[in-house]
Amino acid sequence: MTTSMPQDYDQPHIPVMPSEVIQYLNLQRDGVYLDGTVGAGGHATQILDHLSSNGRLIGLDRDAEALDICNHRFGASARPISTHQLSYHRFPEILQKMEVPAVNGILLDLGLSSMQLDSDTRGFAFESEGDLDMRFNSESGKTASELISNASDEELADIIFQYGEERHSRKIARSIKAMKTMTTVADLKEAIRRSTPPQQRHKSLARVFQALRIAVNGELDKLKSFLDVFMDYLSINGRVVIMSYHSLEDRMVKHTFRALKQAGILNVLTKKPIVPSADEQAQNSRSRSAKLRAAERIA
C-alpha cells in the first residue's frame, strides 16, 4: 500500500444487497458486464467470482480515490477487469474504444460509499468535518461552497426543495445566504441549525446535504442520460440492475422500465423494488434506503 492510498484502504467495503445483485444479473461465465459505479470494488468482487477467464468486467467511477482502492484490490490478480475514471452516463465512449458493441449486463449502485461519507475532506455528510466540497470528481466542477455562493436565495431554496424534499427549504436557503462564510461543513450545519426546529433537525440536515450533493454532481441529469441510451448497448437477454437511494432516482428508473416494457423491449423482473433484508439493514444501516430494480432485454 502506497502512502497516497486512503487510510481506510484495509477496512472492508460492504456492498449493498450483493446476493440480490448476483441473482438478478444472471451472470454468464463468459459474459461481458459493466459496473458503472464500481467504487472500491465491492460488487465487482462478487461479479468476478462468477466469471471465467473469458469473461470481462468493465468498471467505471468518477471518484479517483475509490478507483485507486479498486485497482489495488485487483491489480495483482489475473481477473478480467478494467477500470476507467469516467461517469457512468458516458459508458458508450469506453465501450466504443474497447470495441465492445454490447454487454450482457449492467449494474448501477447510485449510493455513496462509506469511504466517501466518512471522509473529513470531501464534505458529503453532516457528521464529517472539513471543506464543503461534495464533488465525486474532486478534479473538476464547482464545489458545494461555490454552488451556494453563485446561487440566489430562490435558486438555492429550489435545489433544497426539489432534490431534498425539505419543507423548510425557503428558511434554510435564507439562513445559508445570510452566513458570513459558507466554506465548511460546520458553516452549513450552523445555517441549518438556525433555521429548523430541533425535533426535525437531523432529517433536515440529511436532506439539505443530499440536495446539494445531487446538484453539485448533476446526478439526476446523468441518470437521465444513462436511461436514454443504455438499451442500445444491452444484448438480447441482457440484464440491467439499478440500486437507488432517493425517491426521485427510483421514480426515474421505474418510469423508464415501464415505458420500455410497454414498447415490448424490456421485461421488468421486479414488480416492486427489492429492499435489503432486516438482517442486512441491522448490519449495515446505510443500506436502509436502498431500492433495487431489475429488467431483462427481450427485443
Same-domain check for residues 278 and 137: no
Same-domain check for residues 104 and 125: no
CA–CA distance, 131 with 133 (Å, rounded to integer): 6
Q: What is the DSSP letter of 49?
A: T
Instruction: Mark which of 199, 218, 237 sits at the end of a domain.
Output: 218
- Domain membership of residue 4 (yes or no) is no
Q: Which amino acid is at 190?
A: E
**pLDDT exceeds cutoff 80 at 142:** yes
Instruction: Mark which of 218, 245, 280 sits at the end of a domain.
Output: 218
* Model pLDDT, residue 165: 93
Q: What's the total number of domains in the chain?
A: 2
Mean pLDDT, residues 133-153: 91
Mean pLDDT, residues 68-87: 84
CA–CA distance, 141 with 121 (Å, rounded to integer): 16
Identify the band that residue 122 occupies on the pLDDT scale cut at 50, 70 and 90.
confident
pLDDT tens string 100-118: 999 999 999 998 765 666 6
> Which residue has cell 427549504?
169
pLDDT tens string 187-239: 999 999 999 999 989 999 999 999 999 999 999 999 999 999 999 999 999 99
* Model pLDDT, residue 76: 61
Beta pairing partners, 131 = 184
Same-domain check for residues 256 and 269: yes
Q: What is the CATH number of the domain that holds 285?
A: 3.40.50.150
**pLDDT exceeds cutoff 80 at 78:** no
* Model pLDDT, residue 64: 84
- Domain membership of residue 137 (yes or no) is yes
Same-domain check for residues 154 and 178: yes
Same-domain check for residues 234 and 281: yes
Same-domain check for residues 204 and 248: no
Percent of the residues in the chain that have a pLDDT greater than 70, as a whole number: 92
Domain of 185? 119-218
Instruction: Mark which of 218, 233, 261 sits at the end of a domain.
Output: 218
Beta pairing partners, 267 = 296
Largest interatomic CA distance in the chain? 59
Same-domain check for residues 52 and 175: no
Same-domain check for residues 62 and 179: no
Same-domain check for residues 107 and 138: no
Identify the band that residue 120 occupies on the pLDDT scale cut at 50, 70 and 90.
low
Three-state DSSP class for residue 240: strand
